[in-house]
Amino acid sequence: MNEQLKADLADLDNLLSAVQRQGTETIQSLEIRPTTAPESNTQTEALNETGIGAAAALQLFNERFEKLMVASAGPRYLGFVTGGATPAAVMGDWLTAIYDQNTQAINGNGDVSARIELETINLLLELFNLPKSFFGGFVTGATMSNFTCLAVARQWVGRQKNIDIARDGLSGPLPVLSATPHSSAIKSLAMLGLGSNNLVKVQTLPGAREAMDINDLAQKLEALKGEPGIVISSGGTVNTVDFDDNKAIAQLKTRFPFWWHIDAAFGAFAACSPTYQHLLEGWEAADSITVDNHKWLNVPYDSAVFLVKEEHRLLQVEGFQNSNAPYLGDPLANFSYMNFVPENSRRQRALPAWFTLKAYGKEGYRSIVESSIQMAKLLGEKIETSTQFQLLAPVRLNTVCFTLKNATTPEAVHQFLNRLTSGGKVFMTPTVYQGRSGMRAAFVNWQTTAADVELIWEEMNSTLNLA
């Protein structure tokens, strides 16, 4: 064994204790850590011939990079849709690295980790009150979940026309319909060879709405004259968290042949609250659903799940099997995740989710979700009564989409956002909504309190006064 490795193994207790101390201090001071990194001109270092050892590597990391780590896991990081990491989720994540299982098969390598993954999917189905008729697994994020679900959709459409697309390839465009898809769903169409240009845009409802006009969807499905297609609906749009009408789409599914995929990356968590679960009513009739865990479940990056109806298992295997590797066994006889997901070897991504779900339960997630929504509404109310800011859409759930009342040019909005975020106390991201420049504040972090909203509001107003 290399001398440095030998020394680190002997000193393991000190090394891991140092990381544990640093981890505790970091999480406990997230509130005061800046949400934006200072400018840095960090030079890239070359690889040394002789290693410096783990303790010196930690010291070097702390000198060069630690101060540049932003509080994206903290309570006032409202950009994109960024969750934090609960204490139990961090424990699970550390143990994932320590046990270092390759999560693939039942009865094989990574046996227990695949079992834990299947159990965790069940816990999530229970959290969302979804039926056990969904099969699921873990991928890196909602983008890969959309990709996985749409790959099965593609295979389903092919099979309706007696084509095995996984084996024989696509011979032409397939109809894909959606009103306000997330950019990652469009990216998935590109990655799957379905062609992002082939997306048929369904009209949205009038007013400040991003949900689809169901009559327009019905007309567009009618126009397909029985040709099978794919409908991608939104279980929470990223700008204004609008939900498509699941009950109406479920009705259309009885009249027209289409695969129904719901991108509920963060909106799925509305199901945790008796007050908001109606937004998802009817979603159990979908063929597939995307849920992101590194958003509202508050597990560390990277983690999401795909949920696909059990009845489509064979199609999923057709799309993802390792068909020309006899040493991996028969994909239908022996269950292995490697025949259901894009990756073959995978880390035990379910463990942080398992830890946090067990640690905080339904009650814990109801309180995180309802608190996030309350914080978004609080900021929304302040904006509504302000003379300086203006809501671009009502606050429906956990995201506030707004702009400056008197200066809505892209430049003015960008200047304001740059000044706001450079203060390091709050982070938001720009957007364009119905042709207007604005910004979004998305609340999903388990630690955000009303005191944070007060601080955010103060920062927003003092930033304006600086102009």
Ligand X SMILES: Cc1ncc(COP(=O)(O)O)c(C=O)c1O
Q: Are 77 and 291 in contact (CB under 8 A)?
A: no
State the residue number with the nearest CB to ligand X.
Answer: 141
Looking at the Cβ atoms of 62 and 183, the one nearer to ligand X is 183
Give the ranges where 53-110 is alpha helix by DSSP (H): 54-64, 87-99
Looking at the Cβ atoms of 117 and 263, the one nearer to ligand X is 263
Q: Rule CB under 6 A: is residue 263 a binding residue for ligand X?
A: yes
d(CA 202, CA 206): 12
Q: Which of 30, 105, 142, 186 binds ligand X (CB under 6 A)?
A: 142
B/e letters for 225-252, b = 16+ CB within 10 Å, e = fewer, are eeebbbbbbbbbbbbbbbbbbbebbbeb
Q: Closest distance between ligand X and the C-beta of residue 294, in Å?
A: 6
Q: Rule CB under 6 A: is residue 184 a binding residue for ligand X?
A: yes
Q: In this structure, what is the dihedral angle of CA atoms 50, 55, 57, 63, given to the nearest 10 degrees?
A: -130
Q: Rule CB under 6 A: is residue 288 a binding residue for ligand X?
A: no
Query: Phi/psi of residue 336, each to 5°?
Result: -150, 135
Stretch that binds ligand X, among 1-9, 139-147, 148-156, 419-427 (CB under 6 A): 139-147
Q: Which of 54, 81, 315, 413 binds ligand X (CB under 6 A)?
A: 81
Q: Rule CB under 6 A: is residue 265 a binding residue for ligand X?
A: yes
Looking at the Cβ atoms of 266 and 335, the one nearer to ligand X is 266
- The encoded tokens of residue 115 equal 């079992």
Looking at the Cβ atoms of 143 and 371, the one nearer to ligand X is 143
Stretch that binds ligand X, among 44-52, 259-267, 369-377, 401-409 (CB under 6 A): 259-267
Stretch that binds ligand X, among 42-50, 62-70, 129-137, 260-268 (CB under 6 A): 260-268
Neighbours of 421 (CB within 10 A): 22
Looking at the Cβ atoms of 105 and 297, the one nearer to ligand X is 297
Q: Closest distance between ligand X and the C-beta of residue 326, in Å?
A: 34
Neighbours of 29 (CB within 10 A): 11
Q: Closest distance between ligand X and the C-beta of residue 313, in Å?
A: 24
Looking at the Cβ atoms of 263 and 287, the one nearer to ligand X is 263
Looking at the Cβ atoms of 184 and 240, the one nearer to ligand X is 184
From the list 32, 303, 53, 312, the residue with the least C-alpha distance to 160 is 312
Q: Which of 113, 143, 246, 339 binds ligand X (CB under 6 A)?
A: 143
Q: Rule CB under 6 A: is residue 84 a binding residue for ligand X?
A: no
Stretch that binds ligand X, among 120-128, 141-149, 155-163, 328-336 (CB under 6 A): 141-149
Please give the residues from 402 up to 461 whose contact with ligand X meets the rule CB under 6 A: none
How deeply is 123 buried, as exposed, middle or buried, from its count of CB atoms within 10 A (0-12, 13-18, 19+)?
middle
Q: Closest distance between ligand X and the C-beta of residue 368, in Å?
A: 17
Q: Which of 89, 130, 175, 182 binds ligand X (CB under 6 A)?
A: 182
Among all chains, which residue has been given the structure tokens 């006032």?
A: 76
Longest dimension (CA), the chain: 71
- State the Cα angle at 367 between 365 and 372, rounded to 5°: 100
Looking at the Cβ atoms of 80 and 457, the one nearer to ligand X is 80
Stretch that binds ligand X, among 112-120, 137-145, 389-397, 407-415 (CB under 6 A): 137-145
Count the helix, strand and coil residues of the chain and give each as a percent rounded to the nearest 5: 45, 15, 40
Please give the residues from 205 up to 244 whose contact with ligand X meets the rule CB under 6 A: 238
Q: Rule CB under 6 A: is residue 292 a binding residue for ligand X?
A: yes
Look up residue 198 and give its amino acid.
N
Q: Rule CB under 6 A: is residue 196 a binding residue for ligand X?
A: no
Looking at the Cβ atoms of 36 and 431, the one nearer to ligand X is 431
Q: Rule CB under 6 A: is residue 299 a binding residue for ligand X?
A: no
The full DSSP string for 299-351 is --SS-EEEEEEGGGHHHHHHHH--TT-GGG--TTTS-BGGGTSS-SS---THH
Q: Closest distance between ligand X and the C-beta of residue 189, in Å?
A: 13
From the list 233, 256, 257, the residue with the least C-alpha distance to 245 is 233
Strand ranges (E), 331-464? 389-391, 399-404, 429-433, 436-442
Q: Rule CB under 6 A: is residue 141 a binding residue for ligand X?
A: yes
Look up residue 306 and give its amino acid.
F
d(CA 61, CA 54): 10
Strand, coil or helix: 296: coil
Tell me, by CB under 6 A, how many residues bind ligand X.
13
Q: Which of 114, 125, 127, 304 binds ligand X (CB under 6 A)?
A: 304
Residue ranges that bind ligand X, judged by CB under 6 A: 80-81, 141-143, 182, 184, 238, 263, 265-266, 292, 304
